[in-house]
Amino acid sequence: MSAMASAQVLTSISRDDKPGLSAMAFISDTATLSRVSADLFSVTLGKANVREGSIDAALAIGEWPRDLDLLIVDLASAADPIADAAALKTAVPGGCIVIGVGRINDVALFRDLIAVGFNDYLALPFAEGAMSRAVDRALELRQRTGNGVVLGQSPLKDAAPRTLSVIGARGGVGATTVAVAIAAMLGTRLKEEVLLIDFDLHYGSLMLALDLEAIDALREALDQPDRIDALFIQQVAQKKSDYLYAIGAEEAPTNGFQARPHAAGDFLRSIHRRFRWVVADVPRGDPVIQRQVIEASTDILLVTDLSLPGVRDAMRLQQLVHDVAPGAKLYIATGGAIDARRSAVKVADVERTLKRKVDCQIPADTAAAHSAVNVGKSVSEAAPASGIVKALRPLVAGLDAPGDPGTSGKVRKMPSLIERLGRGLKK
Ligand SMILES: Nc1ncnc2c1ncn2[C@@H]1O[C@H](COP(=O)(O)OP(=O)(O)OP(=O)(O)O)[C@@H](O)[C@H]1O
Ligand SMILES: [Mg+2]
Protein backbone atom coordinates (compact mmCIF):
# COMPACT_ATOMS: atom_id res chain seq x y z
CA MET A 1 0.00 0.00 0.00
CA SER A 2 1.40 3.43 -0.84
CA ALA A 3 1.96 5.97 1.90
CA MET A 4 -0.87 8.13 0.57
CA ALA A 5 -3.27 5.17 0.40
CA SER A 6 -2.40 4.28 3.99
CA ALA A 7 -3.10 7.81 5.09
CA GLN A 8 -6.50 7.63 3.39
CA VAL A 9 -7.34 4.35 5.11
CA LEU A 10 -6.35 5.87 8.42
CA THR A 11 -8.46 8.95 7.78
CA SER A 12 -11.53 6.81 7.27
CA ILE A 13 -10.76 4.76 10.38
CA SER A 14 -10.31 7.80 12.58
CA ARG A 15 -13.59 9.29 11.41
CA ASP A 16 -15.40 6.29 12.79
CA ASP A 17 -17.97 7.33 15.38
CA LYS A 18 -16.68 4.98 18.06
CA PRO A 19 -14.23 6.41 20.60
CA GLY A 20 -10.62 5.32 20.58
CA LEU A 21 -7.37 6.92 19.66
CA SER A 22 -6.53 7.43 16.04
CA ALA A 23 -3.01 6.02 15.93
CA MET A 24 -0.30 5.15 13.47
CA ALA A 25 3.07 3.46 13.98
CA PHE A 26 6.13 2.83 11.84
CA ILE A 27 8.33 0.10 13.29
CA SER A 28 11.25 -1.66 11.58
CA ASP A 29 11.58 -4.97 13.43
CA THR A 30 8.82 -7.50 13.70
CA ALA A 31 9.19 -8.25 17.43
CA THR A 32 8.75 -4.57 18.36
CA LEU A 33 5.99 -4.23 15.80
CA SER A 34 3.89 -6.93 17.41
CA ARG A 35 4.59 -5.56 20.90
CA VAL A 36 3.48 -2.06 19.86
CA SER A 37 0.37 -3.51 18.16
CA ALA A 38 -0.54 -5.36 21.34
CA ASP A 39 0.05 -2.31 23.52
CA LEU A 40 -2.02 -0.05 21.28
CA PHE A 41 -4.89 -2.50 20.96
CA SER A 42 -7.01 -1.25 23.85
CA VAL A 43 -6.47 2.50 23.40
CA THR A 44 -7.28 2.31 19.70
CA LEU A 45 -9.97 -0.37 19.96
CA GLY A 46 -7.81 -2.55 17.72
CA LYS A 47 -7.66 0.02 14.95
CA ALA A 48 -4.08 1.23 15.15
CA ASN A 49 -2.39 1.46 11.79
CA VAL A 50 0.91 -0.26 12.64
CA ARG A 51 3.28 -0.73 9.71
CA GLU A 52 6.72 -2.03 9.01
CA GLY A 53 9.03 0.89 8.31
CA SER A 54 10.95 3.65 9.99
CA ILE A 55 10.85 7.42 10.26
CA ASP A 56 11.78 7.60 6.55
CA ALA A 57 8.43 6.04 5.65
CA ALA A 58 6.67 8.47 7.97
CA LEU A 59 8.48 11.42 6.40
CA ALA A 60 7.34 10.24 2.97
CA ILE A 61 3.70 10.80 3.89
CA GLY A 62 2.52 13.97 2.21
CA GLU A 63 -0.80 14.46 3.94
CA TRP A 64 -1.56 13.38 7.49
CA PRO A 65 -5.08 12.76 8.79
CA ARG A 66 -6.09 15.92 10.62
CA ASP A 67 -7.42 14.00 13.60
CA LEU A 68 -4.37 11.81 14.14
CA ASP A 69 -3.91 11.46 17.92
CA LEU A 70 -0.82 9.32 18.18
CA LEU A 71 2.20 8.53 16.06
CA ILE A 72 4.95 6.09 17.01
CA VAL A 73 8.10 6.11 14.90
CA ASP A 74 11.21 3.99 14.81
CA LEU A 75 14.33 6.16 14.66
CA ALA A 76 16.65 3.16 14.40
CA SER A 77 17.80 3.77 10.82
CA ALA A 78 17.93 7.58 10.93
CA ALA A 79 21.34 9.10 10.23
CA ASP A 80 20.29 12.32 11.94
CA PRO A 81 17.40 11.36 14.24
CA ILE A 82 16.92 14.85 15.68
CA ALA A 83 16.69 16.55 12.28
CA ASP A 84 14.28 13.85 11.04
CA ALA A 85 12.25 14.09 14.24
CA ALA A 86 12.00 17.89 13.94
CA ALA A 87 10.89 17.59 10.30
CA LEU A 88 8.29 14.97 11.18
CA LYS A 89 6.95 16.99 14.10
CA THR A 90 6.29 19.98 11.86
CA ALA A 91 4.45 17.77 9.35
CA VAL A 92 1.98 16.03 11.70
CA PRO A 93 -1.10 17.75 13.20
CA GLY A 94 -0.32 20.00 16.18
CA GLY A 95 -2.18 17.98 18.81
CA CYS A 96 -0.71 14.63 17.71
CA ILE A 97 1.32 12.81 20.34
CA VAL A 98 4.61 11.59 18.86
CA ILE A 99 6.65 8.88 20.55
CA GLY A 100 10.02 7.72 19.21
CA VAL A 101 11.58 4.30 19.64
CA GLY A 102 15.16 3.31 18.82
CA ARG A 103 18.24 1.38 19.76
CA ILE A 104 20.14 4.29 21.34
CA ASN A 105 19.72 4.48 25.09
CA ASP A 106 20.98 7.96 25.79
CA VAL A 107 19.45 10.71 27.86
CA ALA A 108 20.92 13.40 25.56
CA LEU A 109 18.98 11.95 22.62
CA PHE A 110 15.84 11.82 24.78
CA ARG A 111 16.19 15.48 25.73
CA ASP A 112 16.83 16.56 22.13
CA LEU A 113 13.74 14.69 20.98
CA ILE A 114 11.63 16.32 23.67
CA ALA A 115 13.07 19.70 22.71
CA VAL A 116 11.87 19.26 19.09
CA GLY A 117 8.39 18.38 20.32
CA PHE A 118 8.37 14.59 20.73
CA ASN A 119 6.36 13.47 23.75
CA ASP A 120 8.52 10.52 24.75
CA TYR A 121 11.21 8.12 23.60
CA LEU A 122 11.55 4.44 24.45
CA ALA A 123 14.84 2.59 24.02
CA LEU A 124 14.60 -0.87 22.48
CA PRO A 125 13.96 -3.50 23.62
CA PHE A 126 11.17 -2.38 25.92
CA ALA A 127 8.94 -4.48 28.13
CA GLU A 128 5.36 -5.40 27.41
CA GLY A 129 3.12 -2.59 28.58
CA ALA A 130 5.87 0.07 28.36
CA MET A 131 4.35 1.66 25.27
CA SER A 132 0.83 1.79 26.70
CA ARG A 133 2.21 3.48 29.80
CA ALA A 134 4.06 6.00 27.67
CA VAL A 135 0.82 6.69 25.78
CA ASP A 136 -1.08 7.04 29.10
CA ARG A 137 1.53 9.51 30.32
CA ALA A 138 1.41 11.57 27.14
CA LEU A 139 -2.41 11.60 27.13
CA GLU A 140 -2.50 12.67 30.73
CA LEU A 141 -0.12 15.51 30.02
CA ARG A 142 -2.07 16.55 26.93
CA GLN A 143 -5.22 16.73 29.02
CA ARG A 144 -3.50 18.72 31.70
CA THR A 145 -2.18 21.23 29.23
CA GLY A 146 -5.59 21.44 27.61
CA ASN A 147 -3.98 20.57 24.30
CA GLY A 148 -6.31 18.34 22.35
CA VAL A 149 -9.59 16.60 22.94
CA VAL A 150 -10.49 14.33 25.79
CA LEU A 151 -11.12 10.91 24.32
CA GLY A 152 -13.54 8.24 25.43
CA GLN A 153 -10.62 5.91 26.02
CA SER A 154 -8.66 8.31 28.17
CA PRO A 155 -7.44 6.89 31.47
CA LEU A 156 -8.72 10.01 33.27
CA LYS A 157 -12.13 9.72 31.67
CA ASP A 158 -14.29 9.87 34.76
CA ALA A 159 -12.04 9.52 37.78
CA ALA A 160 -9.84 12.03 39.46
CA PRO A 161 -7.18 9.93 41.14
CA ARG A 162 -5.53 11.76 43.99
CA THR A 163 -2.14 11.31 45.54
CA LEU A 164 -1.37 13.30 48.66
CA SER A 165 2.34 13.36 49.43
CA VAL A 166 3.35 14.06 52.99
CA ILE A 167 6.92 15.31 53.33
CA GLY A 168 8.78 16.25 56.48
CA ALA A 169 11.07 19.23 56.09
CA ARG A 170 13.40 17.60 58.64
CA GLY A 171 13.68 14.20 60.26
CA GLY A 172 11.31 13.40 63.11
CA VAL A 173 8.89 16.30 62.60
CA GLY A 174 5.91 13.93 62.74
CA ALA A 175 5.33 13.42 59.01
CA THR A 176 4.59 9.69 59.22
CA THR A 177 2.23 10.20 62.15
CA VAL A 178 0.36 12.83 60.13
CA ALA A 179 0.30 10.74 56.91
CA VAL A 180 -1.25 7.78 58.76
CA ALA A 181 -3.79 9.96 60.57
CA ILE A 182 -4.86 11.77 57.39
CA ALA A 183 -5.27 8.52 55.43
CA ALA A 184 -7.35 6.98 58.23
CA MET A 185 -9.50 10.09 58.68
CA LEU A 186 -10.00 10.54 54.93
CA GLY A 187 -11.04 6.90 54.41
CA THR A 188 -13.56 7.10 57.23
CA ARG A 189 -14.94 10.40 56.04
CA LEU A 190 -15.31 9.36 52.39
CA LYS A 191 -16.20 5.74 53.22
CA GLU A 192 -13.63 4.86 50.62
CA GLU A 193 -10.54 2.67 50.78
CA VAL A 194 -7.37 4.75 50.99
CA LEU A 195 -3.90 3.35 50.39
CA LEU A 196 -0.86 4.51 52.34
CA ILE A 197 2.48 3.98 50.62
CA ASP A 198 5.82 4.35 52.39
CA PHE A 199 8.27 5.32 49.64
CA ASP A 200 11.23 5.09 52.00
CA LEU A 201 12.18 1.59 50.92
CA HIS A 202 15.06 1.29 53.37
CA TYR A 203 14.20 3.16 56.55
CA GLY A 204 10.47 3.79 56.37
CA SER A 205 8.57 3.48 59.64
CA LEU A 206 5.01 3.47 58.36
CA MET A 207 4.47 -0.30 58.46
CA LEU A 208 5.97 -0.45 61.95
CA ALA A 209 3.67 2.34 63.08
CA LEU A 210 0.68 0.33 61.87
CA ASP A 211 2.03 -3.02 63.02
CA LEU A 212 1.89 -4.38 59.48
CA GLU A 213 4.38 -6.50 57.59
CA ALA A 214 6.86 -4.85 55.24
CA ILE A 215 7.13 -6.57 51.85
CA ASP A 216 9.85 -6.91 49.20
CA ALA A 217 7.42 -6.48 46.35
CA LEU A 218 7.42 -2.69 46.51
CA ARG A 219 10.90 -2.46 45.09
CA GLU A 220 10.04 -5.01 42.40
CA ALA A 221 6.91 -3.06 41.55
CA LEU A 222 8.90 0.15 41.16
CA ASP A 223 11.38 -1.72 38.98
CA GLN A 224 8.70 -3.31 36.80
CA PRO A 225 5.39 -1.46 37.04
CA ASP A 226 4.03 -3.62 34.19
CA ARG A 227 3.90 -6.48 36.72
CA ILE A 228 1.28 -4.61 38.70
CA ASP A 229 -2.20 -5.96 38.19
CA ALA A 230 -5.28 -6.29 40.37
CA LEU A 231 -4.03 -9.56 41.87
CA PHE A 232 -0.65 -8.06 42.73
CA ILE A 233 -2.24 -5.10 44.49
CA GLN A 234 -4.59 -7.39 46.35
CA GLN A 235 -1.65 -9.44 47.56
CA VAL A 236 0.65 -6.60 48.61
CA ALA A 237 -1.71 -3.91 49.94
CA GLN A 238 -2.20 -4.84 53.56
CA LYS A 239 -5.50 -4.11 55.15
CA LYS A 240 -5.42 -2.23 58.44
CA SER A 241 -9.09 -1.39 58.81
CA ASP A 242 -12.20 -1.11 56.66
CA TYR A 243 -10.92 1.89 54.76
CA LEU A 244 -7.18 1.82 55.38
CA TYR A 245 -4.58 -0.17 53.45
CA ALA A 246 -0.79 0.18 53.45
CA ILE A 247 2.29 -0.86 51.48
CA GLY A 248 5.87 -0.50 52.69
CA ALA A 249 9.24 -2.21 52.29
CA GLU A 250 12.22 -2.95 54.46
CA GLU A 251 15.11 -3.20 52.03
CA ALA A 252 18.49 -4.06 53.49
CA PRO A 253 20.62 -0.93 54.00
CA THR A 254 23.23 -2.44 51.66
CA ASN A 255 20.66 -2.93 48.94
CA GLY A 256 21.13 0.09 46.66
CA PHE A 257 18.11 1.05 44.62
CA GLN A 258 18.05 3.55 41.81
CA ALA A 259 14.55 4.21 40.57
CA ARG A 260 14.36 4.40 36.79
CA PRO A 261 12.78 7.51 35.23
CA HIS A 262 9.02 7.79 35.85
CA ALA A 263 9.05 4.71 38.15
CA ALA A 264 6.98 6.27 40.94
CA GLY A 265 4.56 7.90 38.48
CA ASP A 266 4.03 4.65 36.57
CA PHE A 267 3.61 2.76 39.82
CA LEU A 268 1.06 5.24 41.14
CA ARG A 269 -0.84 5.18 37.89
CA SER A 270 -1.23 1.41 38.17
CA ILE A 271 -2.16 1.64 41.85
CA HIS A 272 -4.85 4.21 41.08
CA ARG A 273 -6.76 1.59 39.11
CA ARG A 274 -7.60 0.07 42.47
CA PHE A 275 -7.35 2.99 44.92
CA ARG A 276 -8.55 6.44 43.96
CA TRP A 277 -6.88 7.99 46.99
CA VAL A 278 -3.24 7.37 47.83
CA VAL A 279 -1.38 9.00 50.71
CA ALA A 280 2.38 8.80 50.19
CA ASP A 281 4.95 9.05 52.96
CA VAL A 282 7.83 10.61 51.03
CA PRO A 283 11.46 10.09 52.07
CA ARG A 284 13.90 12.96 52.35
CA GLY A 285 16.96 10.74 51.89
CA ASP A 286 16.22 9.71 48.29
CA PRO A 287 16.00 12.77 46.05
CA VAL A 288 15.16 10.69 42.97
CA ILE A 289 12.10 9.00 44.47
CA GLN A 290 11.19 12.20 46.31
CA ARG A 291 11.10 14.19 43.09
CA GLN A 292 9.20 11.50 41.19
CA VAL A 293 6.53 11.15 43.85
CA ILE A 294 6.11 14.92 44.17
CA GLU A 295 5.83 15.17 40.40
CA ALA A 296 3.04 12.57 40.37
CA SER A 297 1.10 14.14 43.26
CA THR A 298 -2.10 16.14 43.09
CA ASP A 299 -1.77 17.32 46.71
CA ILE A 300 1.32 17.87 48.84
CA LEU A 301 1.57 18.44 52.56
CA LEU A 302 4.83 19.86 53.81
CA VAL A 303 5.36 19.38 57.53
CA THR A 304 7.99 21.53 59.18
CA ASP A 305 9.09 21.93 62.77
CA LEU A 306 9.63 25.32 64.36
CA SER A 307 13.40 25.40 63.95
CA LEU A 308 15.71 27.39 61.73
CA PRO A 309 16.88 24.37 59.69
CA GLY A 310 13.25 23.19 59.48
CA VAL A 311 12.08 26.47 57.99
CA ARG A 312 15.05 26.64 55.64
CA ASP A 313 14.32 23.14 54.33
CA ALA A 314 10.59 23.83 54.12
CA MET A 315 11.49 26.77 51.88
CA ARG A 316 13.69 24.58 49.67
CA LEU A 317 11.00 21.91 49.42
CA GLN A 318 8.39 24.56 48.65
CA GLN A 319 10.58 25.63 45.73
CA LEU A 320 10.96 22.02 44.58
CA VAL A 321 7.18 21.58 44.64
CA HIS A 322 6.71 24.79 42.62
CA ASP A 323 9.24 23.53 40.08
CA VAL A 324 8.15 19.94 39.59
CA ALA A 325 4.46 19.97 40.55
CA PRO A 326 3.19 23.51 39.96
CA GLY A 327 -0.36 22.22 39.44
CA ALA A 328 -0.50 20.40 42.75
CA LYS A 329 -2.20 21.89 45.80
CA LEU A 330 0.37 22.62 48.49
CA TYR A 331 -0.47 22.62 52.20
CA ILE A 332 1.90 23.65 54.98
CA ALA A 333 1.71 22.28 58.49
CA THR A 334 3.83 22.80 61.55
CA GLY A 335 4.50 19.46 63.26
CA GLY A 336 3.94 18.73 66.91
CA ALA A 337 6.79 16.31 67.57
CA ILE A 338 8.61 19.24 69.15
CA ASP A 339 6.49 21.38 71.45
CA ALA A 340 5.98 24.77 69.78
CA ARG A 341 6.18 26.47 73.17
CA ARG A 342 9.80 25.42 73.40
CA SER A 343 10.76 26.61 69.92
CA ALA A 344 12.61 29.80 69.12
CA VAL A 345 10.93 30.05 65.72
CA LYS A 346 7.26 31.07 65.71
CA VAL A 347 4.51 30.20 63.25
CA ALA A 348 4.53 33.84 62.10
CA ASP A 349 8.22 33.44 61.20
CA VAL A 350 7.39 30.38 59.09
CA GLU A 351 4.62 32.28 57.31
CA ARG A 352 6.88 35.25 56.65
CA THR A 353 9.63 33.05 55.28
CA LEU A 354 7.37 30.92 53.09
CA LYS A 355 5.32 33.99 52.09
CA ARG A 356 2.04 32.18 52.78
CA LYS A 357 -0.26 31.02 55.57
CA VAL A 358 0.34 27.84 57.50
CA ASP A 359 -2.70 25.63 56.91
CA CYS A 360 -2.49 23.50 60.00
CA GLN A 361 -0.73 23.79 63.35
CA ILE A 362 -0.36 20.34 64.86
CA PRO A 363 0.04 20.53 68.62
CA ALA A 364 2.41 18.42 70.69
CA ASP A 365 0.52 15.50 72.25
CA THR A 366 3.07 12.93 73.28
CA ALA A 367 0.53 10.72 75.05
CA ALA A 368 -1.64 10.46 71.94
CA ALA A 369 1.33 9.92 69.59
CA HIS A 370 2.76 7.21 71.81
CA SER A 371 -0.53 5.42 72.39
CA ALA A 372 -0.98 5.24 68.60
CA VAL A 373 2.46 3.62 68.25
CA ASN A 374 1.75 1.27 71.13
CA VAL A 375 -1.44 -0.10 69.62
CA GLY A 376 -0.22 0.07 66.02
CA LYS A 377 -3.05 2.35 64.89
CA SER A 378 -3.51 5.87 63.58
CA VAL A 379 -3.74 8.67 66.15
CA SER A 380 -7.30 9.25 64.95
CA GLU A 381 -8.25 5.74 66.11
CA ALA A 382 -6.00 5.45 69.16
CA ALA A 383 -6.72 8.93 70.51
CA PRO A 384 -9.67 10.45 68.63
CA ALA A 385 -10.01 13.32 71.09
CA SER A 386 -6.37 14.39 70.65
CA GLY A 387 -5.50 17.92 69.56
CA ILE A 388 -3.56 16.32 66.67
CA VAL A 389 -6.81 14.94 65.22
CA LYS A 390 -8.65 18.20 65.84
CA ALA A 391 -5.95 20.18 64.05
CA LEU A 392 -6.01 17.84 61.03
CA ARG A 393 -9.79 17.76 60.68
CA PRO A 394 -10.26 20.95 58.57
CA LEU A 395 -7.43 19.90 56.28
CA VAL A 396 -8.96 16.44 55.76
CA ALA A 397 -12.41 17.96 55.25
CA GLY A 398 -11.05 20.26 52.54
CA LEU A 399 -9.19 17.52 50.68
CA ASP A 400 -12.11 15.99 48.83
CA ALA A 401 -14.93 18.41 49.44
CA PRO A 402 -17.32 19.78 46.82
CA GLY A 403 -15.61 22.71 45.16
CA ASP A 404 -12.17 21.23 45.68
CA PRO A 405 -10.62 21.44 42.19
CA GLY A 406 -9.42 17.84 42.35
CA THR A 407 -12.90 16.52 43.09
CA SER A 408 -14.58 17.65 39.91
CA GLY A 409 -12.53 15.38 37.71
CA LYS A 410 -11.03 18.39 36.01
CA VAL A 411 -7.31 18.41 35.86
CA ARG A 412 -5.37 21.49 36.77
CA LYS A 413 -3.21 23.28 34.28
CA MET A 414 0.27 21.84 34.28
CA PRO A 415 3.29 23.08 32.37
CA SER A 416 4.14 21.07 29.28
CA LEU A 417 6.93 18.54 29.33
CA ILE A 418 9.00 20.96 27.28
CA GLU A 419 8.44 23.77 29.76
CA ARG A 420 9.45 21.45 32.57
CA LEU A 421 12.45 20.21 30.68
CA GLY A 422 13.44 23.76 29.77
CA ARG A 423 13.35 24.65 33.42
CA GLY A 424 15.49 21.64 34.26
CA LEU A 425 18.03 22.53 31.59
CA LYS A 426 18.32 26.14 32.74
CA LYS A 427 19.57 24.98 36.12
N1 LIG B 1 2.11 15.80 67.47
C2 LIG B 1 2.99 15.05 68.12
N3 LIG B 1 3.17 15.21 69.45
C4 LIG B 1 4.04 14.47 70.12
N5 LIG B 1 4.81 13.52 69.56
C6 LIG B 1 4.68 13.30 68.26
C7 LIG B 1 3.77 14.05 67.46
N8 LIG B 1 3.86 13.60 66.20
C9 LIG B 1 4.77 12.63 66.19
N10 LIG B 1 5.27 12.44 67.41
C11 LIG B 1 6.31 11.48 67.79
O12 LIG B 1 7.53 11.93 67.22
C13 LIG B 1 8.29 10.84 66.76
C14 LIG B 1 8.55 11.01 65.26
O15 LIG B 1 7.32 10.95 64.59
P16 LIG B 1 7.20 10.47 63.08
O17 LIG B 1 7.83 9.15 62.89
O18 LIG B 1 5.79 10.64 62.69
O19 LIG B 1 8.09 11.60 62.40
P20 LIG B 1 8.71 11.61 60.91
O21 LIG B 1 8.81 13.03 60.54
O22 LIG B 1 7.96 10.72 60.02
O23 LIG B 1 10.15 11.01 61.22
P24 LIG B 1 11.22 10.39 60.17
O25 LIG B 1 12.03 11.54 59.74
O26 LIG B 1 11.96 9.41 60.98
O27 LIG B 1 10.43 9.77 59.06
C28 LIG B 1 7.50 9.58 67.07
O29 LIG B 1 7.94 9.06 68.28
C30 LIG B 1 6.07 10.11 67.24
O31 LIG B 1 5.31 9.30 68.12
MG1 LIG C 1 8.59 9.25 58.72
Domains of the chain: 3-144 (3.40.50.2300), 162-408 (3.40.50.300)
Give me the residues paired with residue 257 across strands. Answer: none
Ligand 2 centroid to Cα of residue 217, in Å, is 20
Instruction: Provide the pLDDT for residue 115.
Output: 82
Q: How many CB atoms lie within 10 A of CB 217?
A: 16
pLDDT, residue 201, reads 93
Q: 369 CB under 6 A from ligand 1?
A: yes
pLDDT of residue 418: 41
Q: What's the pLDDT score for residue 159?
A: 45
Distance 327 CA to ligand 2 centre (A): 25
pLDDT at 164: 98
Confidence bin at 412 (pLDDT 50/70/90): very low
Residue 367: partners with Cβ closer than 8 Å, 6 or more residues away:
383
Among 14, 72, 45, 278, residue whose Cα is nearest residue 166: 278
User: Measured from the CA of 373, which atom of ligand 1 is nearest?
Assistant: 31
**Cα angle: 410, vertex 416, 420; to 5 degrees:** 125
Tell me, what amino acid is at 79? A
Binding site membership of 218 for ligand 1 (Cβ less than 6 Å) = no
Give the pLDDT of residue 138: 85
360 lines ligand 1 (CB under 6 A): no
State the average pLDDT for the chain.
84
Q: Please tell me the distance between residue 105's alpha carbon and the centre of ligand 1 in angstroms.
A: 43
User: Which range (153-167, 201-215, 288-302) has the least confidence?
Assistant: 153-167
Residue 213 one-letter amino acid: E
Mean pLDDT within 185-189 = 94
Distance from Cα 189 to the centre of ligand 2, integer Å: 24
Pocket mutation for ligand 1, best pick of 167, 176, 301, 371 (most atoms within 8 Å of C-beta): 176
H-run or E-run covering 120: strand 120-123
Atom of ligand 1 nearest to the CA of 209: 17
Interval 313-330: pLDDT, tens: 999 999 999 999 999 999
Give 45-80 pLDDT, tens digit per residue: 778 899 999 999 999 988 888 889 899 999 988 889
Task: Report yes or no: 292 and 259 within 8 Å, Cβ to Cβ.
Answer: yes
Q: What are the tens digits of pLDDT across the range 340-394?
A: 777 889 999 999 999 999 999 999 999 999 999 999 999 999 999 999 999 999 9
Mean pLDDT value across residues 185-208:
94
Answer whether 301 contacts ligand 1 (Cβ < 6 A). no
Does ligand 1 lie within 6 Å of residue 174's CB atom? Answer: yes
Ligand 1 atom at minimal distance to the Cα of residue 172:
23
Q: How far is CA 312 from the centre of its chain?
A: 26
pTM of the model: 0.65
Q: What is the Cβ-side half-sphere exposure of residue 359, based on CA atoms within 13 angstroms? A: 17
- Please give the Cα distance from 175 to 300 (Å, whole number): 12
Report the nearest-CA residue for atom 10 of ligand 1.
337
| DSSP strand pairing (238-241 vs 97-102) | unpaired
CB 277 within 8 A of CB 269: no
Lowest-confidence range among 51-65, 142-156, 171-185, 317-331? 142-156
Q: How far apart are the first and last CA of the chain?
A: 48
For 79-96, what is the mean pLDDT?
88
Each residue's pLDDT tens digit, 249-279: 998 888 777 888 888 998 998 888 889 999 9
